[in-house]
């Protein structure tokens, strides 16, 4: 099953790379071949993931290379299979969605290049999680970064898009440099880039080298994941990219970094590390979650808002992984498995609901030609299917029961609350503090998506584009519907998800907890402490919700008598209501902005122009609010300024003299001979 599915996936993506480029000046054919082939490749990937999760032993294939140190080696174990399944499920839905979405680009940009890069992106992400050699991993990691860069700058005629792409390219290569250092640390001790040698070294890494590898892996993969303070590229790149690409960037690509962290910490290090490693990961996760959602609240560009929520949810994932690392360091294998399993559960949940929300944002952009929520309004009547699917995504990301986001966040909460079993007093205190930060994050996320859905879909249209909006194409609705169904399934069927995730965490932590985590025939979830500690059943909550809703409606009919429809104007103090009287996104978040003004550092600009006849009557008034980009101002801008200052000083060596350049080369050669001699 695995070889056949793998072959189908590779053939599908390869055809998707080549065929669109052959059908020049035929955008419809390019669209169909590119995304049809991507769908075929994703189906093959789904087969690889499903088979890999159930296989008794890992599947391994290796091809020799003419280049030294490079080995084309792939390995499909449960961890790799899980991420292949995640990439492929989201890739399949996005491929269907893109059939309708990319029609907006006909006649403006190359559909062949867009489709070819789309397939290259999916193929490179799949190979990243399958690679079993450090050199090969870096090769496909770089291919993934370059493919995503060219996808981000699809609308390259816009200056802000080019700036976003350049910023993303710099950050991703900074991350790659740190990942390279991580692998070089292992290579220096083992003499090989083989992951199998990394897992089973002939001699253990010295303590200092282990710490260096931990930190460089956190920075390198963290830059791709978007952890604070390495998150600054996300609000630039994700909005700039086409929306179907944004769905993959946020839902899937940043998860390859989570794969890298789990692979290094729990596989290469064998889960043997000091407690403070987990504490650092936990702290980074808590800060990323809280600051990510706080900055998301202030955004009125819908895609920027979703980009900041990726920072938040990566933080939530790291809370689970960090807790698992702390428990593992104290020998509490069952609790370590719970934390890691919860983090991986939220990984697939976030991939699905964030992919859905970016698709919804793309549908709104396609219908209204703007990302500004202040120009939406009333779209639930114009775009009922999009509104319904977006609502499912909003409920899921807000972790409302019985959604999939609720299940994974509930498991993370339980792992944090079980810190009383740790013998260290500091950790007994810090993990519940992490839980309190997660709780605050959840409340703010709920407020954020109440704003996003309410301002976008309810009330009256605020612009001409919103008034003229129409429902998107069937292909886009099918893509969103597939993701919405996955959200519902992952929430109502944890009895299917937990055993699959347990097959990943059991070999990494040394214990299986699926039987302890499921109770009442698999219909309820309990932490490893048992039902007396905590228990929840999302299937029961779903049935209860399905029963109560019609019963309540029936009761209203019985008690209220025959329903009659009466239409009246809403009382507006004697005035006719207009869209200018609606609650705005700025007004919605104003109380939160005041509470956290120390972090936001807002600046308000109010300009009023009065009539010449009297200063008591206003002719024009403008109001602007600006949130200080704290990390960019205090961290990145000084680095850029320092770099430019050093570059200016070094310009003197570039005198334009050929004789001087030959002298540089001569001096360099002499130094090399002295060093090597």
- Between CA 222 and CA 434 the distance in angstroms is 19
611 or 80, which is more confident: 80
pLDDT above 80 for 270: yes
Contact 545, 423 (CB under 8 A): no
- Between CA 547 and CA 541 the distance in angstroms is 10
| Cis peptide bond upstream of 229, omega within 30 | yes
pLDDT at 677: 66
pLDDT at 144: 96
**What is the rounded average pLDDT of the residues 42-64?**
93
**Could you tell me which residues are beta bridge partners of residue 76?**
59
Predicted confidence band of residue 562 (pLDDT cuts 50, 70, 90):
low
97 or 664, which is more confident: 97
**What is the rounded average pLDDT of the residues 245-261?**
96
- Concatenating the DSSP letter of every residue in 344-369 gives HHHHHHHHHHHHHHHHHHHHHHHHHS
Render pLDDT for 574-623 as a digit per residue (tens, 0 to 9).
777 777 778 888 888 888 888 888 888 887 777 777 777 777 777 777 77
Q: Which of 84-93, 412-421, 618-627 has the highest mean pLDDT?
A: 84-93
Whole-prediction pTM value? 0.93
pLDDT above 80 for 669: yes
Render pLDDT for 190-208 as a digit per residue (tens, 0 to 9).
888 999 999 988 888 899 9
- Between CA 344 and CA 340 the distance in angstroms is 6
Q: 107, 117, 237, 268: which is closest to 170 by C-alpha?
A: 237
- Between CA 344 and CA 361 the distance in angstroms is 26
* Residue owning tokens 């390259």: 156
Contact 297, 451 (CB under 8 A): yes
pLDDT above 80 for 572: no
Q: What letter does residue 398 receive in the DSSP assignment? A: T
Q: What letter does residue 657 receive in the DSSP assignment? A: -
606 or 670, which is more confident: 670
Render pLDDT for 115-138 as a digit per residue (tens, 0 to 9).
999 999 999 999 999 999 999 999
Render pLDDT for 625-644 as a digit per residue (tens, 0 to 9).
778 778 888 888 888 888 88
**What is the rounded average pLDDT of the residues 98-124?**
95
pLDDT at 643: 84
Weakest-pLDDT range from 18-22, 249-253, 635-639: 635-639
- Concatenating the DSSP letter of every residue in 590-625 gives HHHHHHTHHHH--EEEEEEEE-SS-TTSEEEEEEEE
Contact 416, 432 (CB under 8 A): yes
453 or 629, which is more confident: 453
pLDDT above 70 for 563: no
Q: What letter does residue 372 receive in the DSSP assignment? A: B
Q: 49, 420, 93: which is closest to 243 by C-alpha?
A: 93
Q: 380, 374, 549, 341: which is closest to 458 by C-alpha?
A: 380
Q: Other C-beta atoms within 10 Å of 536: how many?
A: 18
Contact 216, 181 (CB under 8 A): yes
- Between CA 472 and CA 483 the distance in angstroms is 16
Quote the tokens at residue 277.
Answer: 């490693």
355 or 663, which is more confident: 355
pLDDT above 90 for 111: yes
pLDDT at 530: 64
Weakest-pLDDT range from 23-27, 247-251, 336-340, 467-471: 23-27
What percentage of the chain reaches a pLDDT higher than 70? 99
Sign of CA dihedral 435, 437, 438, 442: positive
In 194-288 the beta strands, taken as DSSP E runs, fall at none
| Residue 262 φ/ψ, nearest 5 degrees | -65, -40
Report strand pairing: 603-610 vs 518-519: unpaired
- Between CA 17 and CA 116 the distance in angstroms is 4
* Residue owning tokens 């979405």: 101
Question: How distant is the alpha carbon of residue 184 from its chain centre?
Answer: 28
**What is the rounded average pLDDT of the residues 357-364?**
96
Sign of CA dihedral 522, 526, 532, 535: negative
- Between CA 586 and CA 584 the distance in angstroms is 5
Quote the tokens at residue 610.
Answer: 């009065």
């Amino acid at each position: 099953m695995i070889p056949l599915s793998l072959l189908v996936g590779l053939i599908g993506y390869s055809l998707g790379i080549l065929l669109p480029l052959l059908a020049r000046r035929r955008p419809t054919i390019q669209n169909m071949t590119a995304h049809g082939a991507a769908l075929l490749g994703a189906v093959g990937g789904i087969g690889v993931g499903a088979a890999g999760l159930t296989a008794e032993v890992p599947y391994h294939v290796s091809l020799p290379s003419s280049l030294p140190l490079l080995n084309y080696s792939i390995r499909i174990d449960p961890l790799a299979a899980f991420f292949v399944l995640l990439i492929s499920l989201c890739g399949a839905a996005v491929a269907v969605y893109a059939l309708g979405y990319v029609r907006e680009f006909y006649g403006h940009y190359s559909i062949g290049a867009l489709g070819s890069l789309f397939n290259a992106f999916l193929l490179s992400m799949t190979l990243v999680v399958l690679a079993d050699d450090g050199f090969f991993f870096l090769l496909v990691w770089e291919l993934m970064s370059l493919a995503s860069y060219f996808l981000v700058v699809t609308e390259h005629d816009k200056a802000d898009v080019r700036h976003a792409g350049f910023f993303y390219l710099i950050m991703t290569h900074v991350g790659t440099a740190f990942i390279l250092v991580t692998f070089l640390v292992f290579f220096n001790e083992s003499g090989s880039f083989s992951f199998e040698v990394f897992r089973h070294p002939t001699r253990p890494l010295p303590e200092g080298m282990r710490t260096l590898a931990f930190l460089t892996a956190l920075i390198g993969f963290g830059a791709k994941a978007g952890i604070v303070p390495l998150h600054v590229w996300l609000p630039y790149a994700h909005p700039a990219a086409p929306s179907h690409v944004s769905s993959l960037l946020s839902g899937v690509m940043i998860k390859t970094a989570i794969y890298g962290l789990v692979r290094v910490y729990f596989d290469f290090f064998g889960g043997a590390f000091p407690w403070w490693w987990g504490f650092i990961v936990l702290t980074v996760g808590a800060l990323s979650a809280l600051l990510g959602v706080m900055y998301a609240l202030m955004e009125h560009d819908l895609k920027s808002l979703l980009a900041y929520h990726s920072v938040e949810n990566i933080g939530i994932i790291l809370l689970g992984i960090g807790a698992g690392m702390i428990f593992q360091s104290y020998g509490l294998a069952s609790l370590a498995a719970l934390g890691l399993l919860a983090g991986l559960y939220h990984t697939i949940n976030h991939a699905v609901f964030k992919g859905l929300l970016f698709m919804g944002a793309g549908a709104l952009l396609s219908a209204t030609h703007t990302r500004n929520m202040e120009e939406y309004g009333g779209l639930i009547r114009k775009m009922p299917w999009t509104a319904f699917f977006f609502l499912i995504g909003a409920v899921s990301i807000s972790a409302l029961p019985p959604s999939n986001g609720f299940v994974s966040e509930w498991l993370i909460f339980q792992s944090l609350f079980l810190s009383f079993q740790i013998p260290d007093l500091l950790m007994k205190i810090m993990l519940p503090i992490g839980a309190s930060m997660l709780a605050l994050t959840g409340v703010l996320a709920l407020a954020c998506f109440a704003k996003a859905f309410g301002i976008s879909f309810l009330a009256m249209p605020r612009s001409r584009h919103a008034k003229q909006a129409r429902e998107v194409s069937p292909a886009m609705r099918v893509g969103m519907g597939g993701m919405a169904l996955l959200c519902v399934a992952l929430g109502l069927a944890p009895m299917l998800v937990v055993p699959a995730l347990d097959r990943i965490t059991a070999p990494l932590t040394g214990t299986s907890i699926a039987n302890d985590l499921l109770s009442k025939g698999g219909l309820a979830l309990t932490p490893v402490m048992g039902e007396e500690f905590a228990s929840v059943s999302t299937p029961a909550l779903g049935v209860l919700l399905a029963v109560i809703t019609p019963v309540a409606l029936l009761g209203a009919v019985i008690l209220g008598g025959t329903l009659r429809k009466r239409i009246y104007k809403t009382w507006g103090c004697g005035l006719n209501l207009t869209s200018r009287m609606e609650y705005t996104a700025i007004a919605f978040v104003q109380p939160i902005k005041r509470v956290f003004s120390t972090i936001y550092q807002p600046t308000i600009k109010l300009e009023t122009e009065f009539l010449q006849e009297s200063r008591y009557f206003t002719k024009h008034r403008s109001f602007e609010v600006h949130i200080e980009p704290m990390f960019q101002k205090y961290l990145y801008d000084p680095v850029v300024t320092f770099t430019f200052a050093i570059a200016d000083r070094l310009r003197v060596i570039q005198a334009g003299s050929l004789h001087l350049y030959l002298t540089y080369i001569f001096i360099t050669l002499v130094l090399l001979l002295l060093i090597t001699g």
